[in-house]
């Protein structure tokens, strides 16, 4: 999901599209205008087929967006932050800031998407009755009613991380299993469903329906990876919850002068030591933080004329952590702020530094020790 294009915001939620989405829009439009509509509604002109095809494709992805907004609105009501909604090759995904706090919240958030799609299916089917006498209008409305019903039913498949899998996890969680055990069971069932998709897709390929079979198998592969990734995230959380920032921070805090030029910073400090960050100190007082991100933001041909102070992050804008802060909560804050390192401050005094490398090293050691 790298470098998505942001279209705007709805209810404070960023709406983004991945580059793969444009390919799918083109394929959906082509399949509708070049195959489905000419077969179902012969006699239209080429311009009519393509116009209706484009309109249907746009409304189809508006339906996908509505499905994700259904999840997101309920998530916000449950106190779960929603960072963005991204449309991509397999439809859409809402990126939430953290897991739901209770089984009930999980259930309500998960079921909201399919219920939204079912509602849209009902609306389009009612519209079909109103425009039945006009084939140009009835065609996209009929298709969208059918596709929204299929979208709801597909997402209710009990394969985690599909909505049905999340509903299953909520039920298992509510029946008294721990969140991790519920996730493990839901992920295992999700992988089983994914392998069924792969097997069915391969059988369709061997029976001659190559493209549809390949697509179904590809969906199965994606679901299997998503189920594995979801469980790994929960296992990661369990290894970090209860660990304080002071337990994983590096107490060494490398410093540089704010008057140092960027070319000298790179040659004498970054390349020689491999460090990605330095604190900027003047007369013993912390002024800011300089990182690789700051350096890369300045064109290389300007490094000889720009000082550290000119590109550093000022101290009042530095993202920092408390020594007693829970590392899992801190990692989520780091993701939200899109930072790779965090100074640890105690009553305004710099006491250490946490980087993603520190967290990975801590996780690796705990994993090797089996704790």
pLDDT of residue 370: 65
Closest to 184 measured CA to CA, from 176, 174, 173: 173
pLDDT of residue 178: 81
Neighbour-count burial for 155-179, b at 16+ CB within 10 Å, e otherwise: bbbbbbbbbbbbbbbbbbbeeebeb
pLDDT of residue 1: 46
Give per-residue pLDDT as tens, 128-145: 999 989 999 999 999 999
Would you say 16 and 85 are in contact if contact means Cβ atoms under 8 Å apart? yes
187 burial level (CB within 10 Å; 0-12, 13-18, 19+): buried
Closest to 189 measured CA to CA, from 157, 152, 154, 234: 157
Give per-residue pLDDT as tens, 14-61: 899 888 888 888 988 998 999 889 999 998 999 999 999 999 999 999
Closest to 160 measured CA to CA, from 193, 206, 112, 114: 193
- The tokens describing 108, both together, are 């309500």
pLDDT of residue 75: 94
Fold classification of 245-369 is CBS-domain (3.10.580)
For the beta carbon of residue 202, count every other beta carbon within 10 angstroms. Answer: 15
Would you say 151 and 71 are in contact if contact means Cβ atoms under 8 Å apart? no
Active-site pick, 68, 252, 268, 336: 68
Per-residue pLDDT of the chain (371 residues; tens, 9 = 90+): 456 788 888 888 889 988 888 888 898 899 899 988 999 999 899 999 999 999 999 999 999 999 999 999 999 999 988 888 988 876 788 888 778 889 999 999 999 999 999 999 999 999 999 998 999 999 999 999 999 999 999 999 888 888 999 999 999 999 987 888 888 888 889 899 999 999 999 999 998 888 788 888 988 898 888 888 777 777 777 777 778 888 888 888 888 999 999 999 999 989 988 888 898 988 877 888 898 889 998 999 999 999 999 999 898 888 888 998 888 778 877 877 778 888 888 887 888 888 887 777 777 777 676 66
Strands (E), the chain: 5-10, 13-17, 82-88, 91-96, 255-256, 277-282, 285-291, 313-314, 341-346, 349-355
Residue 68 annotated in active site: yes
């Amino acid at each position: 999901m790298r470098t998505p294009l942001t279209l705007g915001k709805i209810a404070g939620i960023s709406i983004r599209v991945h580059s793969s989405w444009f390919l799918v829009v083109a394929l959906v439009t082509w399949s509708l205008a070049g195959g489905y509509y000419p077969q179902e509604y012969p006699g239209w002109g080429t311009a009519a087929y393509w116009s209706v095809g484009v309109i249907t494709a746009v409304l189809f992805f508006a339906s996908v967006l509505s499905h994700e907004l259904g999840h997101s609105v309920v998530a916000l009501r449950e106190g779960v932050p929603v960072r963005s909604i991204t449309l991509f090759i397999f439809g859409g995904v809402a990126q939430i800031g953290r897991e739901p706090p209770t089984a009930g919240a999980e259930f309500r958030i998960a079921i909201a998407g399919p219920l939204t799609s079912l509602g849209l299916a009902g609306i389009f089917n009612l519209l079909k009755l109103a425009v039945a006498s006009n084939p140009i209008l009835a065609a996209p409305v009929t298709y969208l009613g059918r596709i929204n019903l299929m979208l709801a039913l597909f997402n209710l498949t009990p394969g985690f991380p599909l909505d049905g899998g999340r509903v299953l996890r909520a039920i298992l969680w509510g029946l008294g299993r721990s969140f991790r055990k519920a996730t493990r069971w839901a992920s295992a069932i999700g992988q089983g469903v994914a392998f069924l998709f792969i097997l069915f897709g391969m059988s369709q390929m061997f029976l001659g329906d190559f493209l549809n079979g390949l697509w179904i198998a590809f969906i199965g592969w994606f679901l299997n990876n998503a189920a594995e990734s979801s469980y790994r995230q929960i296992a990661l959380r369990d290894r970090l919850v209860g660990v304080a920032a002071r337990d994983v921070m590096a107490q060494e805090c490398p410093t540089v002068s704010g008057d140092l030029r960027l070319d000298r910073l790179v040659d004498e400090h970054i390349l020689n030591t491999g460090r990605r960050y330095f604190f900027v100190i003047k007369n013993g007082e912390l002024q800011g933080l300089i990182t690789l991100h700051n350096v890369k933001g300045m064109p290389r041909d300007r490094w000889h004329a720009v000082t550290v102070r000119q590109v550093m992050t000022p101290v009042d804008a530095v993202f920092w952590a408390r020594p007693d802060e829970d590392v899992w909560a801190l990692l989520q804050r780091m993701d939200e702020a899109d930072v790779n390192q965090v100074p640890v401050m105690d009553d305004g005094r710099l006491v250490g530094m946490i980087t993603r490398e520190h967290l990975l090293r801590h996780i690796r050691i705990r994993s090797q020790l089996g704790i």
